Amino acid sequence: MTRRQLAAAVVAVAAVACGVFASSARAWYTSNLTILSVYEDSFRNYDFESTTVSAYNVDWPVNFVFFNNAEVDKVKYGTGWTAWGSTMYGRLNDGYGWVWDGDRGGKGSWDCYGSSVNHFRTYADADDRLYNAAWGYWTFATTHRDYNECGGGDKYSGNSEYAESLLANRAREVWGWFNVWEDIHWYHNYEPSRFVGSHWWWNNGYTSYAEVP
């Protein structure tokens, strides 16, 4: 897919009004939870801590898409992110109804700077990849960093924006500089930088794309 085709395709991504199920208040509340759609595919713009759609149950904002010939394991092992974390859940609809996908994600063992490590989770349907005419085979992902993962001190997670940039750089190393586009489409999930307990919110609301050969 060319850059021009990608630019045309992402214009088709649209947010649609939606409701959320009520839940007891949690630390990770967002006011930005919505549904995004491209052709017949739809997905939530955050992942979740359990299989309940709720603005009080979100984990991290979706800020990365792998497309063209992407598949969950191909993306994770291709980037060398082979260590696992805890399972979170993406909500998606490939045109045949809404389903959940659980993923432990990948942690970049190559990326343990000091006491921190990058972590991303990527989601698709039962065959580990979605498909539409614009993006080919694709998956969507959330990113964050786990701090003090590799050393002592109080552990906390977040800074999705920085983690997204590091993942983009890694994708360039693997698939080529001209196959990655950073922050090119608005996903309605801006989160200003702030701490809520051990959760460090920071996401600019724009999503990056990597073309997987």
Q: State yes or no: pLDDT of 21 exceeds 50.
A: no
State the pLDDT at residue 7.
46
Mean residue pLDDT of the chain comes to: 87
**Dihedral angle computed from the Cα positions of residues 58, 106, 206 and 102, in that order, rounded to the nearest 10 degrees:** -40
What's the mean pLDDT in 97-107? 94
pLDDT by residue (tens digit) across 177-198? 999 999 999 999 999 999 999 9
What's the mean pLDDT in 117-144? 96
Q: Which amino acid is at 161?
A: E
| Plot region of 70 (φ>0 → left; ψ -120 to 50 → alpha; else → beta) | beta
Most confident of 2-6, 117-121, 200-204: 200-204
Element (H, E) at 75: helix 72-78
21-30, 96-105, 127-136: the lowest-pLDDT one: 21-30
Q: State yes or no: pLDDT of 22 exceeds 60.
A: no
Most confident of 18-22, 85-89, 106-110: 85-89
**Predicted confidence band at 27 (pLDDT cuts at 50, 70, 90)?**
low
Domain ranges of the chain: 3-212
What's the mean pLDDT in 171-175? 96
Q: Which amino acid is at 159?
A: N
120-129, 152-161, 170-179: the lowest-pLDDT one: 152-161
Q: What percent of the chain has pLDDT over 90?
A: 72
30-64 as b/e: b if 16+ CB within 10 A:
bebbbbbebeebbbbbbbbbeeebbbbbbbbbbbb
